[in-house]
Each structure stands twice: as structure tokens, then as C-alpha cells.
Structure 1
């Protein structure tokens, strides 16, 4: 199949699907005016349009909960505007593709089987030319096929791309709206980062004060007692030996706690084995069978490495605890200055960070680095978590 024919075929499939979805939009319009349903329906068409044009639409925030609030949200207003626009353009362009391809099928049937139809029911070529004999069938039939296939190759791809561009143009926020959303996200994430940073400092202080510091004080006291008791008496020597044994054990426990605290700040495995080695270790020790697909990552900033490591570990932990999955997959790729991480499983789904699960911390870590998080986890599964992080 030539490139032109392939483009015509893709354009035809896109337009026929647009015809079906346009009809569905008209029939389901009273239901689709709900903001969340309108957002899901619009995002479906954004993904279709992006796939046809070879672009990746930027993720958008969730829609507002009520119809009244939707009119105050530019994104929701844009979704509602898209419904009648798509109903009109999708049906119109889809009917043009159906008419073109349908007449190709008519001609293909008329050439060999014209004689099998009654006179009044015989297929007609070029809209209103009946097929009374083999001469007409063998001349006009192939001619109609050739002309319509050529027309499809010339017309359907640009029509499909035009519809896709219209879709993205209507549903893509303006520059002012993008800047406004960006400022709002940065303001919110800055507050979250400050809260998370304060909580992390308090946790580290508490761990060191209540755990490691207490053990070191106990060790110092044992060593002080041992020094005072040190003499030639065998009983004192046995007592000192017991204190030294306890001090040694306490030292080992304190070192273990220190390593745990350090690991929560920056995992040593990242410094020792890099991001690729750390992810191999995380996926290898996961109870659920997990595959890891790593692209060419290049140099990744340490902060991004830590976020990716903790995010993958958290997501796989949730998979083991809650999803009842039998298989999971982690894919890490890089395109330019964007690192994309996809964690997927075949579990029961239903993951929702709005319920205060571990996904909240994951989202905060990613947003703190000006990244994006998309959680697709319908009830019944599967679950796909997509992270995008800047790594320039």
C-alpha cells in the first residue's frame, strides 16, 4: 500500500468514526451536557485528533462537578461548545466519506453481479445510470471505482486533518488561559511543596530525635558505666562485657535507622546504580510479575531520578496491595527534554487520588517539578498511571 493510499484509508476511517460519534453526540446531547461526561467525550476526540495529526495533546485538569460551575470554567465551556460543533462537522464530513466509499462498493458489486438484480433494483453508476448490459458494467463500473478512489486519496486526508485541527483548536486553551492555569498550578504546588517540605523536615527530626539520638544516648551511658566499672574483678568484667555487647548492638541499630532516614531523602541505590539500575531493582522485587522497558534516557537530573524512583515504587506498592493484578509493566521513555513514565497493571482499577491514597504524595512529587500526572483507572481496570517530567 502506497503512502497516499494509507493516508486515504486512515482519513476515511477517521471520518467514518466521526460520523458515528457525531450521530451519538446528537442522540446523547441531554446526557453529554454534564461537565465530566463532556470532558471525557472531548478528551476522547482530542486523542483521536492527536493520533491522526501525530501530536500529543497536553493533559487537562478534571472538569467541574456541576453544570452551573461549568459556565465559569473556560475549559468546561469549551467542552460544551465542542458538542454542537462536532455534531455538525463530524456528521457532514463523515457523510462525504461514506458517500465516496459507498459508491466504490456499489461499483464493485455492479460490475460482476448487475445481471442478478431485477431491472428496477439494478445498481446505478454515477448516481443515476442503470447497468443494462456487460458493456456498461465493464466500462462505467471500473471508471467509477478509479475516479472515486482517486477522489478519496486527494480529498479525504485533508478533510480528516481539517476536522482534527478544528477539534484541537476548539478544545485547546488559549495562551492566556494556559498561563492562568499555569500560575494557578504553580501557586498550588508551591504551597503543597512547602507543606510537604515542612512535614518531611519534622519527620526527619522526629526520627533522629526519638530513634537514633535516643539510641546514641543509651550507648554513651553504657560506655560511661562500663568505664567506671572497669577493674580486675571477674564479676565487673562480665558486667562490662554485657554493657559493651549492648552498646555494640545499639550502635548497629542506630546505623540501620540512620540508613533508613537517608534512604527516604535520596535512595543510595540511585547513587550506586543510577536510575536504570534502581528501577530494575524495584521491578525485580515486586511480588506481581512486572516488566520494565527503558528507552534511551540520557542524563537525568537527580531530583527527577528520585521522583521517578519513588513514584514507580509507590505505584507498584499500590498494585500489590489493592489491585489484585497478575501482571504490571513500567515503561520509561524520553523525548527531548520530557521524561515519560507509564506504570500499568491488569488489576481491578478504581484508583483515585482524591480519596487520600498514596497517589496524593506521588502527584505532589511530580507537580513540584513542574510535571504532569494522569491516572486512568476505571472500575474493573486496567490501571494506567502516566507521568511526564521535565529533564532538560
Structure 2
């Protein structure tokens, strides 16, 4: 009853706000945010899992091309009507319970003309009336709320989801758009990754190997001459040895960015333990039993957590962070939170944008909740039932 009552009173308040702010809410991106807010409330009340709808401000999405925009605009008058119609009885019920609660012990504090009335038109003129009709009104209205509030709230929530839910054709069209955009992002990311690997190998490892080969060639020539300069040879061989070790280190770094060896050696839990242990902010890690997870999913979660914690250290000013990884059915979720200053925006900078590209490449979802002042919560979900 409590959840339903809060839902109905909130619907009444937002329905009245919709009436007064209707011209402003007709702006498509505001209508989308307003509709998403009510859609999420309805889903929570009905305990129905809902796929997130992207904001109109997301790259590649235009209001005129988005099949959900007409539904967002239709929801405005529908909610103004249903929110007030469904919420007003709840307000009257709650208000009269409050009136009886106040009138029962304090009826005498009011002037005779202003004394409260119970059961609509029965004035409270004495303790007998107060102690009989007051509790009776409270009990009857509480029973009415217990019986009526949940179905009324669920009815409003179903209307909300019926108006704002995609049709099959709209779901298909939106899915095609998302996959098209994701494929383009993946191809761009793949090309950038190949160029980065080529540049690292060309400018770093290859240059060091060339230098090693030159030093060894000079050393070979020195060995063939007479007399031998042992100090000169020792210096050349030492430089060649150090250069070989540096080249191997750079090569390992390049390999690690392709697929971290720690994942193969220690699994996802061990790899995340190492990442959180190295983080400059105290970080708690909780990993459920994940069973078997595809290697591609493990790599995405590892890189995403590592990048997210790097952002926490660099930008958030947080004093603690938390990483939780769990699996429900065929979906693996990872949630990274911190108590920093907030304000993280995936549309700015490359850190969150890179995480989003990796997650979308595997048909996953990424949500960022980072209000100004914090805290910041980054939630990703990935399919792992391949």
C-alpha cells in the first residue's frame, strides 16, 4: 500500500506539473526525459524489467527519425489526464486520514465554527464524537487504501507502459539503427586499435630492435679486428642487452592491450583483484560466482573496470570506490561506484566513450549516473550466454 500510495501521489503531482509545463515539455528531448522517468517508475512498480531507451541527445539519434518520439508526446496529455484522475482520490483518502488523526486529539483547539468535520459533514463537538468517529474514519480509509491503492496504481502503470512501449516494428527499427551505429563504432575502434598497435611496434619495439642489431654488428666488427677493445665491446653488449630487455617490455605492453595475459593466468576475478589492488583509491571488490564467461566478455569487463578506476583516480576526487560483478542468467553486470564529485559525461572525453564502444560491440548496455556533487555509478550489462 505504501509504494502504491507514493506512486499515485507522485503521479498526481507530475500530472499537474505536466498541465502547467505542457508547452515546454513538447520539446522532443524534454518529452523523452519526462516519459522515461514515468516509464521507469511504472516498471519498478510492476517489477517489470525494461530495456533502457536512449536519450535523443545521443549521437546519431534525431527526434524526427526516432519511432518513440510520437509516443513521448502522446504521453503528455495522457499523463495529465490519468495522473490527476488516478491520483486525486488517493490524495483525498490520505488527506482525510490525516484530518481524522489531527481531529481526534485536538478537536478542542479549533474555534466552534472551524471545528473539523468527519465523514464529510459530521462536526466534532465533543470527546465522544472524536473518539468514535475519528478512529473509525481512519480505519475505514486505511482499509480502503489497502484494498484500492495497489490495483489503481498498477492500472496507471500499465497505461504508462502501453503508451510508451515500442511496437514490434518500432523495436525492430530501433534495433537495426543501434546495430548499424554500433557496427560503425566497432569498425572505427578496430581501425584505431590496429593503427595504435602498428605505431607502437614501429616507433618503439622495431626501433629498439634495429638499434640492437646495429650494436651487435659493430661488436662483431670489433671482434674481427685487432687488437680487441674489451671495454668498448662490453659497453656495446651491455647496451644491446638493455635494449633487448626494453624491447621485450614494450612488446609485452602491446600484447597486454590486445588480451591481458593476467586473464588467461588468473581468470576475471584474479585480474580484477589485481586492478583494484593497484588503484590509487581504496576500492572494495565483490565478485559473485560467474560460472563460465566468454573470453571477449572477460576482456571487456577487465578493460572497462580498469578505465573506470583510472577515471576515478584522475578526475573524481573520490576517497573510496566499489566494484561489484555479478551474473543473472545469461547477463553479466558490473557496477562501479565512487563517492567523488560526480559530473561524469560519456559524451565528453575518451575514457567513458571507449568503455561504451567496447560494451556496445558485444551488444551490451552502459548506464552512467553521475549528478553534480556525486556519487557516480557506472553500470554495464553484457550477454554471456554464447
TM-score (norm 2): 0.90
Q: Where does residue 40 of structure 2 map in the other structure?
A: 47
Mapping for residues 64-103 of structure 1, pairs under 5 Å: 70-103=63-96
* Segments ≥4 residues shifted beyond 6 Å: none
Q: Where does residue 193 of structure 1 map in the other structure?
A: 186
Alignment partner for residue 201 of structure 2, among 202, 208, 228?
208
SS state at 1:352 partner = coil
| Cα distance in 1, alignment partners of residues 362 and 178 from structure 2 | 11
Q: Where does residue 61 of structure 1 map in the other structure?
A: 54
SS state at 1:203 partner = helix
Shift of 1:116: 4.3
**Unmatched tracts of structure 2, length 5 or more:** none
Confirm or deny: 8 A CA contact 1:288 1:326 kept in the other structure.
yes
Task: Tell whether 2:158 aligns with 1:160.
Answer: no
Mapping for residues 101-180 of structure 1, pairs under 5 Å: 101-180=94-173
Note the alpha carbon deviations across 1:203-248, whole angstroms, 9 max, x for none: 2223223322332233334334434433695633333332222221
Task: Tell whether 2:221 aligns with 1:217.
Answer: no
Alignment partner for residue 281 of structure 2, among 288, 308, 323?
288
Confirm or deny: 8 A CA contact 1:339 1:388 kept in the other structure.
yes
SS state at 2:347 partner = helix
Q: Where does residue 340 of structure 1 map in the other structure?
A: 333
Shift of 1:294: 2.6
Q: Where does residue 368 of structure 2 map in the other structure?
A: 375
Mapping for residues 196-275 of structure 1, pairs under 5 Å: 196-230=189-223, 235-275=228-268
The number of aligned residues is: 382
SS state at 2:75 partner = helix
> Cα 1:251–1:140, aligned 2, differ >3 Å: closer, same or farther?
same
Q: Where does residue 3 of structure 1 map in the other structure?
A: none
Q: Where does residue 25 of structure 1 map in the other structure?
A: 18
> Cα 1:72–1:364, aligned 2, differ >3 Å: closer, same or farther?
closer
Alignment partner for residue 383 of structure 2, among 357, 375, 390?
390
TM-score (norm 1): 0.88
Alignment partner for residue 328 of structure 1, among 315, 321, 326?
321
SS state at 2:301 partner = helix
| Cα distance in 2, alignment partners of residues 381 and 148 from structure 1 | 41
Shift of 1:12: 1.0
Note the alpha carbon deviations across 1:47-98, whole angstroms, 9 max, x for none: 2222222233211111259xxx635432222222222222211122211111
Shift of 1:115: 4.4
Alignment partner for residue 348 of structure 2, among 351, 355, 363?
355
Q: Where does residue 301 of structure 2 map in the other structure?
A: 308
Shift of 1:25: 1.8
Shift of 1:365: 0.7
| Cα distance in 2, alignment partners of residues 136 and 205 from structure 1 | 89
| Cα distance in 2, alignment partners of residues 378 and 139 from structure 1 | 50
Shift of 1:130: 3.0
Note the alpha carbon deviations across 1:164-194, whole angstroms, 9 max, x for none: 2222222222221111111111112112212
Alignment partner for residue 271 of structure 2, among 278, 292, 295?
278
Alignment partner for residue 37 of structure 1, among 25, 30, 45?
30
> Cα 1:360–1:134, aligned 2, differ >3 Å: closer, same or farther?
closer
| Cα distance in 1, alignment partners of residues 12 and 83 from structure 2 | 5
Range with bigger deviation, 56-65 or 184-193? 56-65
**Unmatched tracts of structure 1, length 5 or more:** 1-7
SS state at 1:58 partner = coil
Shift of 1:385: 2.1
SS state at 1:354 partner = coil
Confirm or deny: 8 A CA contact 1:70 1:77 kept in the other structure.
no
Confirm or deny: 8 A CA contact 2:9 2:90 kept in the other structure.
yes
Shift of 1:31: 2.1
SS state at 1:230 partner = helix
Range with bigger deviation, 311-320 or 202-211? 202-211
Shift of 1:382: 3.5
| Cα distance in 2, alignment partners of residues 347 and 298 from structure 1 | 33
